[in-house]
């Protein structure tokens, strides 16, 4: 769209405060009637980046009834659902600098509006995490009804929306078992807890809701069994992962964690001591493969402790992110910039060669990012705030027709023999 597409409309009773720009979320346009402004947070972000205070609000009417006290700058664009959206900002009459800023913000977003496609990566949450979230939600709901205190042991890895719901239900996310007693309910997280923490919860007399992911539970049990048979257990994984300590606690002093191929040299084993290895649930198979290869090259007799239990979710997720990025002109990764999960997602997306932008909040999206972009990829980190991905999607839908497709790579385990 060009500068000429932006309409300037006198507005009465805009209720603007001195020195601020009003960015409408909804507006009554005399030409098109009632319009929504999904891109309002983008306009507001541009104004804030230039030091222009602004406020998101509804503008009941955009016409010259009464004495005009503001000037509205507005452009419209079609939406995918057949409706019309507005990109708009209003400034007080008589303030030329604010009027220029308001118009400029509308013009720069109008310049990058148009029809686009968006590829949306599937949820970042695996089945184990979602199962644990559901179990915690049910326990919290039951606890509210019965008057029992419900504790969810950290790290409670779950969608931000579920965490907020648990708080509303009165559940307590606890990093320890301090203060927990008989009659209380303790929910174990998807990544599990140490053997010592499980025993302590039982001694407290608390009711235990075990929401440990089945694959994590299998890895814990296998570590214990292998150690009991006199094996040295090697955990192929990451030292700081949430499931590491719970697995290692099953065989104190008998588990060595290895996170790189070269680190296989530090395994304290001899030819007379069998080695069993586990691939940590949560580690991609692609990351594990070179480590396992190095381990078996050094110790040819090493064998997997749980050959039937493999966590495919990390590889499926990484493959989905790569696929979405590969099919996009721009990849948006939504999440906390400080989160290791967010950084890992950005790295996986960049492997495709596509330009990647990290989005911590909607206002991080800038007009220049969308110039000459026809297909946008969008992936959500586990660190993303509640509803942030949906807010980004809604804002982008206010810049023109936006067709959305969800992409998900999934590994299916086949039972029986294929003929």
Cβ burial, residue 266 (10 Å; 0-12/13-18/19+)? exposed
At 261 the pLDDT is 95
Question: Against a cut of 0.85, is the pTM above it?
Answer: yes
Cite the DSSP H helix spans in 252-312: 285-298
pLDDT at residue 351 greater than cutoff 60: yes
Average pLDDT estimate for 357-364: 96
At 70 the pLDDT is 85
pLDDT at residue 256 greater than cutoff 80: yes
pLDDT at residue 140 greater than cutoff 90: yes
Average pLDDT estimate for 304-331: 90
pLDDT tier at 157, thresholds 50, 70, 90: confident
The helix/strand/coil state of 109 is helix
Question: Alpha-carbon distance 40 to 55, whole Å?
Answer: 10
- What is the percent of the chain with per-residue pLDDT over 70, rounded to a whole number? 94
Indicate if 230-304 has the same CATH topology as 119-123+313-407: yes
At 419 the pLDDT is 42
Question: Alpha-carbon distance 140 to 134, whole Å?
Answer: 10
Question: Alpha-carbon distance 185 to 180, whole Å?
Answer: 8
At 61 the pLDDT is 66
pLDDT at residue 155 greater than cutoff 70: yes
At 418 the pLDDT is 44
At 2 the pLDDT is 47
Question: Alpha-carbon distance 344 to 85, whole Å?
Answer: 35
Question: Alpha-carbon distance 278 to 273, whole Å?
Answer: 16
Per-residue pLDDT tens digits for 10-37: 887 667 777 889 999 998 887 888 899 9
- What is the percent of the chain with per-residue pLDDT over 90, rounded to a whole number? 73
Domain 127-212 - what CATH class? alpha beta
At 94 the pLDDT is 83
Q: Residue 137: what are its φ and ψ, rounded to 5°? A: -60, -45
Average pLDDT estimate for 386-391: 93
Indicate the domain borders of the chain.
3-111, 119-123+313-407, 127-212, 230-304
Joined tokens for residue 43 = 């306009």
Average pLDDT estimate for 122-146: 94
Q: Please determine, looking at this structure, whether the domain spanning 119-123+313-407 carries the CATH number 3.40.1010.20.
A: yes
With the CA atoms of 354, 359, 364 and 369 taken in that order, what torsion angle do they form, in degrees rounded to the nearest 10? 10
From residue 59, alpha-carbon distances to 12, 48, 100, 115 in Å are 10, 20, 19, 26
With the CA atoms of 198, 199, 202 and 204 taken in that order, what torsion angle do they form, in degrees rounded to the nearest 10? -100
- Architecture of the structural domain at 230-304: 3-Layer(aba) Sandwich (3.40)
Tell which wins on pLDDT, 104 or 157.
104
At 93 the pLDDT is 83
At 396 the pLDDT is 97
Cite the DSSP H helix spans in 173-269: 195-204, 214-228, 244-248
pLDDT at residue 64 greater than cutoff 70: no
pLDDT at residue 203 greater than cutoff 60: yes
Contact between residue 319 and residue 348 where contact means Cβ atoms under 8 Å apart: no
pLDDT tier at 333, thresholds 50, 70, 90: very high
pLDDT at residue 65 greater than cutoff 60: no
Tell which wins on pLDDT, 419 or 109.
109
Closest C-alpha to 289, from 318, 323, 321: 318
pLDDT at residue 319 greater than cutoff 50: yes
Mean pLDDT, rounded, of the chain: 90
Question: Alpha-carbon distance 24 to 385, whole Å?
Answer: 24
């Amino acid at each position: 769209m060009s500068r000429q597409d932006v309409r300037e409309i006198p507005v009465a009773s805009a209720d603007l405060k001195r020195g601020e720009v009003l960015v409408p979320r909804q507006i009554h346009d005399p030409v098109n009637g009632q319009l929504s402004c999904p891109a309002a947070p983008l306009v507001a972000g541009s104004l804030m980046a230039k030091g222009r205070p602004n406020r998101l609000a509804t503008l009941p009417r955009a016409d010259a009834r009464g004495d005009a006290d503001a000037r509205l700058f507005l452009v419209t664009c079609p939406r995918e659902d057949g409706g019309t959206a507005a990109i708009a900002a209003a400034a007080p009459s008589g303030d030329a600098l604010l009027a220029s800023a308001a118009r400029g913000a509308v013009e720069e977003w109008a310049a990058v509006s148009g029809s686009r496609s968006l590829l949306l990566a599937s949820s970042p949450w695996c089945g184990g995490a979602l199962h644990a979230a559901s179990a915690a939600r049910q326990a919290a709901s039951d606890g509210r009804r019965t008057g029992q205190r419900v504790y969810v042991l950290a790290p409670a890895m779950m969608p931000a929306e579920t965490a907020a719901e648990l708080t509303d239900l009165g559940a307590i996310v606890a990093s320890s078992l301090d203060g927990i007693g008989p009659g209380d309910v303790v929910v174990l997280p998807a990544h599990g807890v140490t053997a010592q923490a499980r025993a302590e919860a039982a001694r407290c007399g608390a009711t235990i809701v075990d929401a440990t992911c089945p694959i994590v539970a299998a890895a814990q049990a296998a570590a214990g069994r292998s150690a009991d048979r006199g094996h040295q257990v090697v955990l192929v994984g990451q030292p700081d992962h949430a499931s590491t300590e719970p697995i290692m606690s099953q065989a104190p002093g008998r588990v060595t964690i290895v996170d790189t191929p070269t680190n296989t040299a530090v395994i304290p084993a001899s030819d007379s001591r069998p080695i069993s290895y586990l691939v940590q649930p949560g580690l991609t198979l692609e990351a594990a493969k070179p480590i396992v290869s190095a381990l078996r090259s050094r110790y040819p007799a090493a064998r997997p402790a749980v050959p039937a239990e493999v966590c495919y979710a990390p590889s499926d997720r990484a493959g989905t992110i790569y696929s979405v990025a590969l099919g996009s002109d721009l990849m948006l990764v939504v999440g906390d910039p400080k989160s290791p999960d967010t950084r890992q997602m950005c790295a996986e997306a960049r492997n495709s060669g596509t330009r990647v932008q990290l989005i911590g909040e909607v206002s991080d999206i800038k007009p220049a990012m969308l110039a000459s972009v026809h297909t946008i990829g969008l992936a959500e980190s586990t660190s993303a705030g509640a509803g942030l991905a949906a807010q980004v999607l809604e804002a982008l839908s206010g810049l023109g027709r936006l067709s959305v497709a969800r992409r998900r790579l999934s590994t299916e385990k086949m039972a029986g023999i294929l003929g």
